[in-house]
Amino acid sequence: MLRPEVRADKKSRSLEPAGVGVHVRADGQSLVVRWLVFVLARAVVYATLFIGFLLVFLPARIVAWSGMTSPAQLGALQLIGAALTAAGALLAISCILTFVFVGRGTPAPFDPPRQLVARGPYGLVRNPMYLGAAAALLGAALYYRSPALAAYAIAFLIATHLFVRLYEEPTLRRTFGDQYESYCRRVGRWWPRRTTPAA
């Protein structure tokens, strides 16, 4: 269990747990921790809307419209689909958490990270959250054997590709400049790169 180390100077007194780089004020409240919790709450709200509408509500409407029902028996296709859906959902969630704790922001375009996110899943590809969402949709299409859901997943990928090319990348170039250009040379947009290009 960590014990606080008391550090005092002439101007202020602070308590800081040994080994934890978070400044805690004398009244026991941490501005940094409170701010991170606030950012996390915003990210959860955005993720709930994003996942709830695009990855739950619309796919459910597509399944209902196409007359598909849950399979009576689970076969290999359903197991593969369920695994792919779970892996995609976990990837999307890890991306959201990376945005919060590394980028100090959310995935929402109106509340973006304050720092360039190039770690975690973003160290492999530049758009892992969209890939995770698409994987979850494709997994659901396999589970239900639904061509309509597969078409929706493909349409989702096309729409996100256009959004990335026409909005996200120009915005990130304006915001982070050479830092983002270097990141683009190192990390692929949709596919991991085997080697790191020279800067």
pLDDT digits (tens, 9 = 90+) for 8-67: 444 444 433 444 444 444 444 567 666 667 666 776 777 777 777 888 888 888 888 887
pLDDT digits over 142-196, tens only? 998 999 999 999 999 999 999 999 999 999 999 999 999 999 999 999 999 876 5
- Contacts for 151 with CB less than 8 Å, ≥ 6 apart: none
Rounded CA Rg of the chain: 21
Entry field: residues in the chain: 199
The C-alpha angle with vertex 160 and arms to 151 and 162, in degrees rounded to 5, equals: 110
Count Cα neighbours of 166 within 13 Å in the Cβ-side half-sphere: 6
What amino acid occupies position 188? G
Burial class (CB in 10 A: 0-12, 13-18, 19+), 68: middle
pLDDT tens for 77-101 read 999 999 999 999 999 889 988 888 8
